[in-house]
Every structure is written in C-alpha cells, then in structure tokens.
Amino acid sequence: MIDLGSYELIQEGRIPLPRRTTLSWIGFTAEGSPAIYDTTGLLSVLDRFRRPGQARWVPILDSNMLARKQGRTENYWPVGVSGSHFTCIILKGSEKEPWFPRPLVQELEMQMPLLNMDNQQGKLEERCGKRPLCWETS
C-alpha cells in the first residue's frame, strides 16, 4: 500500500491465500479498511493498515458457517462490507457469478469465525465481537 499524497510505502507483502484458493474480490469496507474475499468463502480485513509495517489480515466472516447456508448450496458475490454487515448477491446452486435478470443485493449479518461455538465461552466471545466494547457483569 502506498500513500498517494506523499508516495510513501505504508504496507508491503503478500495477500495470505491458502493453496488452491483464489482471490474473488478485493475492495474497501465502509470505514475505509482494505478487504478481501476468497474462493473458500473467507472474508478478511486488513487491520492496522495505517500503521507502517504493522498490518495484518484478520478473518471477519466465514460464509460457510452462516446459519442460512446450512443445508443449502449457494455462493456469495461480494458487493461491500460495513462494520456489521456483508453486502452481497446470493447465488443459488453452483453459480459463480450473477447473471440476467439482475439479482437482488442483500445484507447478511457478520458472524466472526470463532472456535468453540458449542460452549458458553464461545457464545459469549461471539456476542462480544458484535459490539465495539463488551463488559460482562455477573
């Protein structure tokens, strides 16, 4: 990444993609952070991208884990990302890109990929991840 005002290099490196995975979409969140979506259904955002040399790609959504996808065969065509929603076109079956007639753009609530969602601690972490600050009281 280069600052176009000063032509200063801010970040450099490779986009972390597993083997046999390709980049499906690259763009920016509504807040201005770089974001990527790959063919495995993982949406990641570049955290700390404004701090030279400190950026890291953070997964924020695994579309295969969405509750709506369970038992269905569908793919997602990214359109945009905001703080709490993934804006996309839902493709049915084995479709890989939208076709005519023009499909509807839909917003899906973000669901951060976390471990141990089957226990109480995992559920609490997921609930806290949806809010900027989370203070749990006993």
In this predicted structure, what is the pLDDT of residue 135?
A: 33
CA separation for the pair 98, 90 (Å, rounded):
8
67-95 burial by CB neighbour count: b if 16+ within 10 A, else e? eebeeeeebbbbebbeeeebebbbbeeee
SS3 category, 127? helix
Where do the DSSP E strands lie in 63-103?
Answer: 74-81, 85-92
Look at 133 and 14; give whichever has higher pLDDT. Answer: 14
Structure pTM?
0.76
The per-residue pLDDT for range 20-79, each reduced to its tens digit, is: 999 999 999 999 999 999 999 999 999 999 898 899 999 988 888 887 777 888 889 999
Query: Encoding tokens for residue 121?
Result: 């601690």
Give backbone dihedrals phi and psi of 114, rounded to 5 degrees, phi first: -125, 160
Residue extents of the structural domains in the chain: 2-129
Q: Which residue has the higher pLDDT, 131 or 56?
A: 56
